[in-house]
Amino acid sequence: MNSNTYVVIGSNGQLGSELKELSASNPASFKFYDYPDIDITKKENLLAILKQDAPAAIINCAAYTAVDKAESESDLAMAVNGDGVKNLAEVAEAIDAWLIHVSTDYVFDGSAHRPYVETDATNPCSAYGRTKLAGENFATAYRKGVVVRTAWLYSSFGANFVKTMLRLGAERDSLNVVFDQVGTPTYARDLASALLAIADNATSSNNLSLAGIYHYSNEGVCSWYDFTREIFDLCNISCKVLPIESSSYPTPAKRPHYSVFNKAKIKATFQIEIPHWKHSLINCLNKLNK
């Protein structure tokens, strides 16, 4: 095992792209893979590559993320989000590497009235949520498995809510946005930084008590409506934003109405400071404007 190597899987997505940028200032050496160069649904392929790289940590950002499509493609979603993570955990065990796996607020049903802690009962209400929970279970069954749940991810990379709103805001005079789904926007760059802090800590200490589940999002709370208003205010977009209920915008997959996380555990364990979502949004918009 090379104690200085981290392998990032799913390196072309929002989170993987942020990890690529942040890797320049991290002392570890990095290997970045995305599909089809690496396929987490094929264990032999995984094992061959990772045995050769012999990383101290594997950071898994690969996932099937088409939430609505997962309702009709649940087998494919499970192959990636569930069985793919099982393969990763088994390969990580074979090469004695830490596995840091990214999960989602969709493992909860969103019926809570206070921020979710890691030990709260899961109850996914979508195929996507069920497949992500399966992956969590495989990751946490491994003694060096770390699961980081996040929510409402956006970035200057890839397709996401912020970029969609900027495009629609420029095209339209008004926009309907749901106000009865509440959570916290999470800047993928902040999450990437937290994942590296976990990898650094876990690989340097090799402390097995660090394994388990953690919650990470930015600080603060808002609805999708509030989030959109903030984006438009910061960018001086004159498009009118109208609040609507989720029932007025039906989707194949049910979304959690409440996705707020308690982040006390990750902050205490890894001495991570988490920025407020409004500050991080400004950082992302500044980057997009460059």
Q: H/E element holding 51? A: helix 43-53
Q: Which residues of the chain have pLDDT under 50?
A: 1-2
**Which residues pair with residue 6 across a beta bridge?**
30, 57
DSSP 3-state helix, strand, coil percentages of the chain (rounded to 5)?
45, 20, 35
3-class SS letters over 81-145? HHHHHHHHHHHHHHHCCEEEEEEEHHHCCCCCCCCECCCCCCCCCCHHHHHHHHHHHHHHHCCCE
Where do the domains of the chain lie, and which CATH numbers do they carry? 5-159+185-220+259-276 (3.40.50.720)
Pair of tokens at residue 185: 């926007």
The pTM for the full model equals 0.97
Helix axes 14-23, 188-205, angle to 10 degrees: 60
> What does R_g of the chain's alpha carbons equal in angstroms?
19
Q: How many CB atoms lie within 10 A of CB 37?
A: 11
**Which residues are known to be catalytic?**
128
Predicted local distance difference test score (pLDDT) of residue 249: 86
Predicted local distance difference test score (pLDDT) of residue 1: 43
CB 16 within 8 A of CB 63: no
